[in-house]
Structure formats: C-alpha cells, structure tokens
A and B are shown apart, each in its own frame.
Chain A
Amino acid sequence: MIQIENLWKMFGSHTAVRDLTLTVPEGSAYALIGANGAGKTTTIKIILNILAQTRGTVQVMGIDSRKISPREFQSIGYLSENQELPERLTVEEYFNYLRPFYSRWDRQLESSLRLQLKLPDARKICALSHGMRMKMALACALSFHPRLLIMDEPFNGLDPLVRDELMDGLLGQAGDITILISSHELNEIEGIATHIAFVDEGKLLFDEPKDDLSSRFRAVRIVFDRPAPSHVDASEEWIHLRTEGTILEFVHTNYPGADFHESLRAKFIGIRTIDAEPMPLRSIFTALARQKRDMVEAGGGES
C-alpha cells in the first residue's frame, strides 16, 4: 500500500528523515513509533504530498506521492492531532461540506459514527473540545470507506474515556482498511497494530510484524544461588544488562527460544532460575529508547 525507499528530508541543515525505507503491506495496521522529533510526522506529510522529499521515492497505492491527486484522496482518510479544521463551520455544516467531495461517502455509516461518537451537530468546530474534534475527524475519515487511513498522533492529549471511544470507533469500522498510525501511546497501538516500525532521529531502527517483534524481545531474569557475576561477556543482542545481588537482568533483542536457557546454564555456574517474559510494546520501546540514550551519552554513536 505504501512503499518508501531511501527517503531523505532536510530542513536547511537539519535532517528530519534519513534514508528511510519501509513497506506498509495492504490490510496491515502499521504503527510508526518513535520519540518526539523522530521524523514520523514529516514522513506522513511526505506520504500525503503535503511536503516534498529531499531525496528518495514514496509510492502510495501505486502512485508516486508527488503525483497524488484528488482521485487518490478519495481513498485516503487522515486525522491528525494538529489538523487545522474550518473552525467557523458547525459539525453538521462540515459534514455537509465534505460529503460531495467523496464519491463513496456512506451517509448511513456517517450517521452511525456520529451517533456512536456522540458528535454535537449544531456546535461550531472552534467550540469543540480536543477529544470531540478528534472524534469528528475520525468520523469524517471513515465515512467514505477509505482504503488507507493515516493517523498522526491521534491519541495525544485525550483522556482515557475519549481514547476508548476513538478506539471503538476505529476498530468497529477498520475492516480491511490499511492503517498507518504514528503515536507514542503504545498501549493503544498495541491493540491495533499488526506491524511496528521504530524510527529514531529520522532513521528506521527496525520494521517488522508485531508478533515477530513480541517473540523476539524478552525480559530475561536469572537468579543465581550466589552473587551474580559482575562482569558478563554479553552478546550484542542483550541490552540493559543489570546485576543486583544474586539477580542478573537484561533484555534479549533476539530471543532464540527455549534452547537459550540451556546455553545460559552452560555459560554461567550456579543458576537457580531463568525467566524469559514476553515484553509489552511500551517496554520494548522504552528499552530501545533508553539504550539509544545511553549510547549517545557514552559517545558510542548510533546503533
């Protein structure tokens, strides 16, 4: 659905996106995660032809992103936390305004979404709360059965109740829509995403199906019957190595399976127990971000 190859975007001397290559498969829910300023929003704006790239190519639904026309926008839904909407229109007027632009607009779906999301028809957009605006934007983005839905930080600044409503609205209609979502709200993303890409300082660190990622990362905890070894000849795949008393902990970034336990027992003497727990997306993200920070502080450069 989306293919990005060797994408670069420079703003003067600042490089926002560097050599980014990724593929969003059709039907997937692709999560672009990364810290603030990682280049997620810039990438999305290039995908939507709002910004022009410095180098590289982006194909959206088989079309060069620079050539995206109103015909392609008939199939692309977009919502963003900082989208500038026509403030002086009422909710009703906004829907009335958008409807004729989309040949596949579904009035029944629109009505059910507006009902489900409890949108106030007569209220002006400028008088809507942030959460209400996001819900309205979601209803607008789904009412024409888009093939591709792009969401840029949709959960920012929303209270848990609104997040749930938004998620319900989204999941209820997602169907076979391809979703590209950028967010820090990893708990929400975990419920939707089928693929995860981690972007840091404009560079892609990894891009893989969420299930592969979940099986690859493990929080490993080894309990010794004596003080844990203070110096460990650790693999590069182990990050956040930490010893405390009889406990050695680390995150395994490429967990090989049950055989790993045997190799650990061969490597260390006096192991009492080994636990290798699957990690939630938030913990994986935090671990990777912390590792990156530690490397920068240590002058180790980029991983």
Chain B
Amino acid sequence: MIWHILKKDLRLHRTFTLAIAVMQFALVAVHMKLGRIEENEAYSSLLLLLEIMMYFGAASLIASVVHQDALVGTRQDWLVRPIRRLDLLGAKFAFAIIAVQLPMLLADLAGGLLSGFAFSHSLGMALSENFYFLIGFTIPILAFASLSRTMTEALGSTFALFMVILGLQVLVSLWNKGAALGPTTNTGIEWIPQSWRLLILALAGLAILGLQFFRRATRASRIVFAGAIVLCMMTEIVPWRCAFGMEEALSPAQAAGNAIKIQFDPGLGKYTSPVADRPANQSGASVGKYLHDGGGTELYLPIRVSGIPAGAILRIDHIQAEIFPANNAGAGIVRQSNSPEDFEIASTPGNDSAFATTFEPIKMDGSVYNKLKGAPVTIRLDYSVTILRLVSTDSIAALNGSKSLSGIGQCETGLNDEQTAVALRCRGIGNPAQCISAVLEDPSDHTQNPTVHGCLSDYSPFFGRYRPPDTIEHTAFNLNFRDPSGLVHYPIDGTQVGRSNVILKSYRVEGHFTTLLVIPAILLSDWSAS
C-alpha cells in the first residue's frame, strides 16, 4: 500500500513538488551561469535567494506531506482505516526521496556533467551529497514534521526552536568567554563535531519516526527531539584536546610527527618586518605566516621547526599558550588559544636537514603584559599540528590558461579586475586536496614570486562533504605581481606575467601530532612587537 498512499500524496502535492524540482535545477543553472570566476554579485544574490527558497520549500513540502496524515491528534481519518503504520511511514519516506532527494540528485548529476566532469565522478559526488542531505536534512525534517499536526504548528515550533537555539548559543558564548562558537569552528577538525551532529540528528530523527509512526508517542518523541537539540549544541563546545585526539587516532600515519621538533630559537633575533610579505628564508626552508590584527600587545617568539619530512608542509591548527612568572609557577597564568588558520610551514623538497623558522605571535592583554614584562616568565606553548604530504604538482599558463589539474579540478587563469594579480579559479568534484600552494614562475629562469598557501578547513576522512546545495568545490587564488602602492616589488612583474606559469601543488593529510614547547625564564619586553 506504500505506492497507493504515495500516489495520493504526489497527486496532492504535484505543483509544489514540481516547483521544488525546478528550484533545484535553477540552482545548478545559476551555478553554471556564474562560471568558475564567481564574482557576479547579482547571480550570487540570486543563488543565495534560491538556496534559501529551496531549503524552506523542501522543508515545507516534507512537512505538508507528513501533515496529510498527521501523527499528532486523535481526529485523523487514517487512524481508523486499515492502514499499516509501516506503509504510511514508507510512503512518506518514499515521497521525500522522490520529491526532494531525486530531483536534487539529478540536478547535481547534470551540474557535474555539464561542468565537464566524468559521469562516475559526477554521480559519486551527487550520491554523496544526496546521502548527507538525507541524514542531515530530510530525515530530521520528516521527524520534526511528525511532531506537529499542521503547518501553523510546525512554523510556530520552528520559531520557538530558533529562539531556544539562539538562547543556547548565547549561553555557549558566555561559557566560551565571549567567543560565539566552539574551539573547533573553522578548523580542519570541525568535521568531528559536525559528524556527531549529523549522527545525532539522524539517530534522533529515526527514533522519533519510529516512536511517532509505530507508537504515536508524541511526548516521548518531543523529549528525544529536545535532547537531540541540546546534544547538538553540546557538540559545538567539545574541547579542542578531545576532538584533536580523535583526529590523531584516525590519521593515516600516527607516528608521522615523531621526528618533528619545535624549539625556541633566540638566535633568530627579534621580529622586525611588518611590511615585507614574509621574513627571509633560512637554510633553504620557506616560511609563511599571516599575522593577526587586533588590540593588546603582541609578542613574536622565534621558533625553529626541524625534522619536517621532505616535500611536506606543517599546518599549525591550534596553539594554547600559558605565561607565568618563572620564579612562581602557577601564579598569574595567562591562557590563550590561537587558531592560526593560514599558518603553514614548509620545507624545501630534497633538503634532508630541512628546518623552518617562524615567529610565533602571542596576543596579550596590555595590563597583564605591563604586570609581567619586567620579570622573567615561563611560556608554555601547546601545539596541535597537521602534516600534509605533497600529492601532485602541476602547472597552468598564467594568462588565459584552461586545464584540468589533478587533485584540484578544472582551472582557468586570467588577470583580476585591478590588473595586479593573476586570478586562478578552479572547480573540482570529489574529495579535494586539503591544502594547495600556488606560485607564479617564469619557466625560462625558474624565478618565482612568493608562494601562496590555501587550506580547506576539513580533514574529514569521508568521501564527499556536507555542503548542499552546491556539490562543486571552488578554489580561488590571487597571485600578486604588482603592488599599486609601490612598497613591494615582485621578481615576476607585469612584463613577465604573459610568459609565466602558475605552479600548483596539492597536499593531503599525512598525520597529526601535538607537542609542548616550554620556554623558561625570558623577558617579555625582549620579544614584544617593535
């Protein structure tokens, strides 16, 4: 009888279903229209509008079909008909698959194929996206809709839920010392709490569907729902140590970081280069760092990193710093966490004694700095680091290039609007590389401009990612060759760009490690920003 009930629901919702399907194809069409260089504001706004409409529309459609034979209440006609609960649930589930999931799958598949990706890749990505959408959206919405009798009730509950979540966010923020989100947000290990949330939502959704369709236990279902929401909120505040420990345990090479040492190296002197793109390289190693803006006092601690595997780069995911007087450990501890999102350290391939140097920025409250600056202090830096290994190197012409690059996708190059940088735009499908480096190189003499690194905040070991409604991974780099202010001069300037190439290297996660650096008895004033 599943098909019989489904036919009735499809007949009643045919216009709505068609509208949602059209919206999903329209989303893909707008993505296609945007092309690889997605910088058209009108289309971007339309895309955002379509995405909101698609989510709201799909949720409303699912809720409407559940309310057609509502579980809450005692007056529904189906309650006194010889309708098996399993058939009813099967019909509602099949409706969500046919009316929401299937058009999305076809639209994503079409988007992949029309973008020139292979059928197998396009289908794989569309299926992966569909699966995540199913467990992260469709099942939770089916379950949520089963807790209400009408659309008005569902919308009212949604508003109440929104207010509760907002309230809990405020609580989390207060608990988290003013930071709106938890310690893993926007880091590579955000996938861990995100996966927990998906798991919680899917399990709670299935439990609620079971309770509602087979027991009509609305009160118990609502308790499960509330519990799931609280648990989901709790995942946001999962401690960094716990999440990173899981990531370490799951990494493919758990001993990869054993040989790597991070040391304080006062011989590097004081950091004095606020204008230059980066400090001078030492012993053939390259160092990249993006300093953070902001108030307070900043220390720059010279750090030497040795034992980096050839061709690998290190990504500092998180630093916990503690500062306390050297003669009175435990008193006046200052704790802070840095999440240097774009901080990568790379060695030069082929150099066995590869080491890198960098200056570790420590932000301090001005009053604490003034209190501690005159006396020796001990600094403990607790690092969480990811090792990324080189998986591919490829090149593309700097201007008007169009090429498929392994591990990245289909790329195009051109000048940016200001004619100051080479704009590289890529669209990939499948599991993208976690980090990419790009550098402008003149092939005649191998002169290079500074290397630019870009990393995804995602070390997830799963195939595919949960980023509906767009299945395509977009990568964008601007490789500067001209500084309009004239302060910076590049080895490759505007005259050489036409004959230059962009060299792209892609990296994947090899392993993770944590290490503790203790710097005993130093004067803060010696290392504050000049």
- Chain A residues with a Cβ under 8 A of chain B: 45, 48, 50-51, 70-71, 73-74, 76, 78, 80, 82-86, 88-89, 93, 97-98, 100-102
Nearest residue in A to B70 (C-beta to C-beta)?
A84
- Chain B residues with Cβ below 8 Å from A74 are 82
Residues of chain A within 8 A (CB-CB) of B4 are 97, 100-101
Subset of 17 A-B contacts with CB under 8 Å: A48-B79, A50-B74, A73-B83, A76-B80, A80-B75, A84-B75, A84-B76, A86-B8, A86-B68, A86-B77, A93-B11, A97-B4, A97-B8, A98-B81, A100-B1, A100-B4, A101-B1
Task: Report, nearest first, the 6 A-B pairs whose CB atoms are least far apart.
Answer: A70-B82, A73-B82, A78-B80, A84-B75, A50-B74, A74-B82
CB-nearest residue of chain A relative to B79? A50
- Chain B nearest CB from A58 CB (Å) reads 15
In the assembled complex, B230 has its CB within 8 A of some CB on chain A: no
Contacts of B79 in A (CB 8 A): 48, 50
Q: Which residues of B contact A98 (CB under 8 A)?
A: 81
Contacts of A71 in B (CB 8 A): 82
Q: For residue A247, give the distance in angstroms from its CB to the closest CB of chain B.
A: 49
Contact A101 B74, beta carbon cutoff 8 Å = no
B12 is an interface residue with CB less than 8 A from chain A:
yes
User: Are the C-beta atoms of A51 and B74 separated by less than 8 Å?
Assistant: yes
Distance to closest chain A CB from B285 (angstroms): 70
The verdict on A101 contacting B12 (CB below 8 Å), with A51-B74, A83-B75, A84-B73 known, is no
- Tell whether, in the assembled complex, residue B80 and residue A48 are in contact, meaning their CB atoms are under 8 Å apart: yes
Question: Contacts A89-B8, A89-B12, A97-B8 given: A84-B82 contact, CB under 8 Å?
Answer: no
The CA-CA distance from A227 to B79 in the complex, in Å, is 62
Docked CA distance A142–B12 (Å): 26
Minimum distance in angstroms from B70 CB to a CB of chain A:
8
Given A89-B12, A101-B1: A84 in contact with B77 (beta carbons within 8 A): yes
- Which residues on the B side are within 8 Å of A83 (C-beta)? 75, 77
Whether B83 contacts A70 by the Cβ 8 Å rule is: yes
CA A97 to CA B4, docked complex, whole Å: 8
Contacts of A89 in B (CB 8 A): 8, 12
List which B1-49 residues lie within 8 A (CB) of chain A: 1, 4, 8, 11-12
Which residues of chain A are within 8 angstroms of B1 by Cβ–Cβ distance?
A: 100-101
> Considering only CB atoms, which chain A residue lies closest to B5 in the complex?
A97
A97–B75 Cα gap in the complex (Å)?
18
Chain B residue contacts of A101, Cβ below 8 A: 1, 4, 81-83
Q: How far is the CB of B301 from chain A (nearest CB, A)?
A: 65
| Chain B residues within CB distance 8 Å of chain A | 1, 4, 8, 11-12, 68, 70, 73-77, 79-84
Contact between A73 and B12 (Cβ–Cβ < 8 Å)?
A: no
| Residues of A contacting B12 in the complex (Cβ-Cβ under 8 angstroms) | 86, 88-89
Which residue from chain B places its CB closest to the CB of A97 in the assembled complex? B8
A50 to B80, CA, bound (A): 8
CB-nearest residue of chain A to B8: A97
A76 to B83, CA, bound (A): 13
Q: Is the CB of A73 within 8 A of B80?
A: yes
**Alpha-carbon separation in the docked complex, A64 to B74 (Å):** 19
Closest to B84 in A: A70
What are the residues of chain B within 8 A of A82 when measuring CB–CB? Answer: 75
Which A residues are in CB contact (< 8 Å) with B83? 70, 73, 101
Q: Using Cβ atoms and an 8 Å threshold, which residues of chain B touch A97?
A: 4, 8
**Across the two chains, which residue of chain A brings its CB closest to B75?**
A84
| Chain A residues with CB under 8 A of B77 | 83-86
Neighbouring A residues of B73 by C-beta, 8 Å: 84
**Please, how many angstroms separate the alpha-carbon atoms of A277 and B222 in the complex?**
58
For the complex with contacts A73-B82, A78-B80, A83-B75, 10 further pairs of A-B residues with Cβ separation under 8 Å are A45-B74, A48-B79, A48-B80, A50-B80, A51-B74, A70-B84, A82-B75, A84-B73, A86-B68, A89-B8
Chain B residues with CB under 8 A of A102: 82
Most buried by A among B11, B68, B77: B77
State the Cβ distance, B304 to closest chain A Cβ, in Å. 71
- With A and B bound together, what is the CA distance between A85 and B81 in angstroms? 12
A97 to B78, CA, bound (A): 11
Closest to B69 in A: A86
Instruction: Give Cα A85–Cα B70 distance, bound, in whole angstroms.
Output: 11
Determine how close the nearest CB of chain A comes to the CB of B294; give it in whole angstroms. 56
Distance in angstroms from B375 CB to nearest chain A CB is: 67
Q: Please name the residue on chain B nearest to A76 by beta carbon.
A: B80
Of A50, A71, A80, A84, the most chain B CB neighbours within 10 A belong to A84
- Nearest-neighbor residue (CB-CB) of B217 within chain A: A52
CA of A85 to CA of B68, assembled, Å: 9
How many whole Å from B26's CB to the nearest CB in chain A?
Answer: 26
The residue of chain A having its C-beta at the shortest distance from the C-beta of B12 within the complex is: A88
Min C-beta distance of A251 to chain B, whole Å = 37
Measured CB to CB, the nearest residue on chain A to B9 is A86
A160 and B75 alpha carbons, distance in the complex (Å): 25
Residues of B within 8 A of A73 (CB): 80-83
Q: How far is the CA of A155 from the CA of B355 in the complex (A)?
A: 91
Residue of B4, B8, B70, B80 with most chain A CB atoms under a 10 A cut-off: B80
Residue of B nearest to A144 (CB): B82
A98 to B1, CA, bound (A): 11
Q: Chain B residues near A93 (CB, 8 Å)?
A: 8, 11
Could you tell me the distance in whole angstroms from the C-beta of B11 to the nearest C-beta in chain A?
Answer: 8
